[in-house]
Structure formats: C-alpha cells, structure tokens
Amino acid sequence: MRRELRLSGFGGQGIMLAAVIVGRAAVMYDGMYAVQTQVYGPEARGGASMAAVVFDDEPILYPKVSDPDILVIMSQEGFEKYGANARADALMLLDRGLVHSRPSCRYYEIPATEDARGILGKVIVANIVMLGALVASTGVVSREAIERAVLDQVPKGTEDLNLRALRQGYTRGEEARE
C-alpha cells in the first residue's frame, strides 16, 4: 500500500512542517511506516521548497519519492518545479489563489491561503488548512492521527487556531471531492 506524497510551495509557507506533521501522524498514531525528506531552494525564505513523505504498511526499503501519487502544491514556482510533470493518475491539491497553472492529472483547487487569511485571520496556518484538505480528500492518514500530530507540533497557545484551520481544510477537501 505504498503511497508517495510530494508537497511544494515557497519558503516560509510551512511546507516542511506540514510534511513532518503528516509523517508523524502516520507513524505515531496510525501505525504505518513513513519516511520524510525535504529540499530547500538556495533562496530559503521565498524560494521554492519541497518535502516528500513515503507511507507504507510495511518497512520502507527505498525512502525516495520517485513518482508521487499525491501532490500538494502551494505556489506557482512549486508547481513549475515539482508538479508540472505529475503522472496522469496522480491527485494534486492546489492552493487556488497562488497556483495559476493546472495539471493534466486530477486536481482539487483548495483556497487554503484565502481561508487562512479571510476566515481564520492568520495566513500562517494555510499549510494546516491544506493538511486538512489532504486528509479529507485522500484518507492518507486518519483525522484523529492528523489532529494529534498537529497538536504535538504547533507552538503552545496556537492549538485552537490550528485545529480550526485543520477543520476548515476538512470542509474544503470534502467539498472538492463532490
């Protein structure tokens, strides 16, 4: 049941944190095996960044994501660098307001940054909105697992905001599937 996930955006969007959270959810709370890797652009903040997670119900012998079946893309540059050549049967979640290109694979437009800014009042939780949409639309990890992993990783005092962001993402992911 190997699944390969690639997340991309620009530095500062929390792409790496999102990958750590979903990997943690898989391993610590859903009893799966997972390996997480990451790549930073030379620009650091603002440049394209990419993180990947391999999930499996058996030990992972090859930890590199070579051909992801799920992609989460949160910037146009991230799309161009890491998503434009997605395989035909992949599923891509795009941040609707920040990614202008559309892939040839199946995709869902998620207004993660718009919702983080407009509904939640903090653009910094757009990555958590996207995690909620990812879980609701793919079931790659359980909702209970992702909620526990979010609470493990976010700064103290931001738990409520992050859970609201996650739940907003669930709503968007469910709407996208309809």
pLDDT tens, position by position, 44-103? 566 788 999 999 999 999 999 989 999 999 999 999 999 999 999 999 999 999 999 999
Rounded-to-integer distance, Cα 91 and Cα 106, Å: 5
Say what the pLDDT of residue 90 is. Answer: 97
pLDDT mean across residues, the chain? 94
The answer to whether the beta carbons of residues 159 and 151 sit under 8 Å apart is: yes
Rounded-to-integer distance, Cα 149 and Cα 47, Å: 27
pLDDT-based confidence at residue 43 (cuts at 50, 70, 90): low
Q: Phi first, then psi: give them for residue 171, nearest 5 degrees.
A: -60, -45
pLDDT-based confidence at residue 122 (cuts at 50, 70, 90): very high
- Facing residues of 148 across strands? none
**Residue 127: CA count within 13 A, CB half-sphere:** 22
- Residue 107 pLDDT more than 80? yes
CB contact set of 128 (below 8 Å; sequence gap of 6+)? 14, 18, 116, 150, 154, 162, 165, 166, 169
Say what the pLDDT of residue 47 is. Answer: 74
Rounded-to-integer distance, Cα 123 and Cα 61, Å: 37
Say what the pLDDT of residue 115 is. Answer: 98
What residue spans define the domains of the chain? 3-177
Say what the pLDDT of residue 41 is. Answer: 61
Percent of the chain, pLDDT > 70? 96
Say what the pLDDT of residue 42 is. Answer: 63
Residue type, 84: A
- Residue 166 pLDDT more than 70? yes
- Residue 16 pLDDT more than 60? yes
Residues in the chain: 178
- Residue 12 pLDDT more than 80? yes
The answer to whether the beta carbons of residues 26 and 32 sit under 8 Å apart is: yes
Q: Which CATH architecture has domain 3-177?
A: 3-Layer(aba) Sandwich (3.40)
Rounded-to-integer distance, Cα 5 and Cα 67, Å: 9
